[in-house]
Structure 1
């Protein structure tokens, strides 16, 4: 069991996912600075209700208890810049998934949680039945590279593990226009091949894969 600071967002971070953030709230500036100095991760967790940005006049409780999703992902800062006083621009990568055992919001608004980390995806090759999912992702990566998009603006980062079920499934989970609930359910799915099969169904339904 480990205690970590949380960054609740209206999105979901997956393992090996790329997440650029602009930090300007005092509670998160302090948190991120400590994480950078101590080379410590923080937790990204979906906020089911409420908003992650405090509004003027809003007091301690940002969102009622129970509005944090039970499963999140550890994030590590891989690059950062401070272009202005009171502003941090950071680039993060998703690490291991975790399950929240308990959480509390401190007086200044920062969420802390007791967590247990979940096992990483097993390295499972792409089944033949889902090879078209990996092929479509590879084609998308090539298209983005041909457009000469700067690496820091690419929605996914190398190494491109197009032969791994979990990696391919997670990248599509980030790229597809899914509801917050769908993204959370896919993150919570422990079987990477089943996650890949669910992604394949969604791609097919949206006409993004050939039958």
Structure 2
């Protein structure tokens, strides 16, 4: 099952938001995150969401090493709409979540379900819903560091196809797919806007290559 055109306005996003805590997972506006759901409480969460608004929140635990049942969470995550849903014969569910808007967790609700729910405030991130209409990031700098990174990682990507994306789509997609640490992914999530995220993305990619190969120079 798939659903095209998932972008919603703030008034369509639930203020009581079911959340899926995932260490190292980053969801940003317009980005798509595939997930394989197998834990019973999150199977319940996805099925409940499919019967209502189809929106869940992706948020990281503060401590990547915390393996407790309910770890402390960062206060900022991203709400996404389930745009693809497939139930497997073994009982698991495959979904793809499309990022709609970041949220700030105001409070966590007393337990009414097996999964966690929070009071979500989207208002600080209303600009997430506005697509970039003109190029505002340093594409040359981003292109340079990305090409060096792809060569370093022995990856092949079609830069021309990537370069045709709008600024927000390009920066958000790269932020999601590049192998950053959980803390770095949280910093990218919390960047004020696409320009700040692009600058951080360039810095992180450059630093990653320099740490892996100290004698390497990225220009």
TM-score by length of 1: 0.73
Structure 1 distance, partners of 2:79, 2:217, is: 31
For residues 11-26 of structure 1, the aligned pairs below 5 Å read 11-26=25-40
- C-alpha distance 6-132 of structure 1, shift in aligned 2 (>3 A): same
State whether structure 2 residue 146 is matched by structure 1 residue 133: no
Secondary structure of 1:27's counterpart equals: helix
Shift of 1:80: 1.5
Q: Any gaps of 5 or more consecutive residues in structure 2?
A: 1-13, 211-215
1:96-122: per-residue Cα shift (whole Å, max 9, x none)? 111100014627641110011122345
Structure 1 distance, partners of 2:162, 2:94, is: 25
Q: Which one of the candidate residues 56, 59, 82 is aligned to 1:45?
A: 59
Residue 213 of structure 2 aligns with which residue? none
Residue 78 of structure 2 aligns with which residue? 73
Residue 89 of structure 1 aligns with which residue? 94
- C-alpha distance 107-203 of structure 1, shift in aligned 2 (>3 A): same
Residue 19 of structure 2 aligns with which residue? 6
For residues 1-211 of structure 1, the aligned pairs below 5 Å read 2-10=15-23, 11-49=25-63, 50-51=66-67, 62-64=69-71, 67-104=72-109, 106=111, 109-117=114-122, 118-121=125-128, 123=132, 125-127=134-136, 129-134=138-143, 143-144=156-157, 162-205=164-207, 206=209, 210-211=218-219
Secondary structure of 2:108's counterpart equals: strand
Contact 1:2–1:115 (Cα < 8 Å) also in 2: yes
Contact 2:145–2:202 (Cα < 8 Å) also in 1: no
- C-alpha distance 115-209 of structure 1, shift in aligned 2 (>3 A): farther
Contact 1:99–1:116 (Cα < 8 Å) also in 2: yes
TM-score by length of 2: 0.71
Aligned residues: 186
Shift of 1:73: 0.7
1:155-191: per-residue Cα shift (whole Å, max 9, x none)? xxxx967453332222221122221111111111112
Point out the structure with the larger strand share: 1
Structure 2 distance, partners of 1:92, 1:84, is: 21
1:96-150: per-residue Cα shift (whole Å, max 9, x none)? 111100014627641110011122345263347433415776997x9457xxxxx
Contact 2:77–2:104 (Cα < 8 Å) also in 1: yes
Q: Any gaps of 5 or more consecutive residues in structure 1?
A: 52-60, 146-158
Cα RMSD, aligned residues only: 3.1
Contact 2:137–2:167 (Cα < 8 Å) also in 1: no
Residue 149 of structure 1 aligns with which residue? none
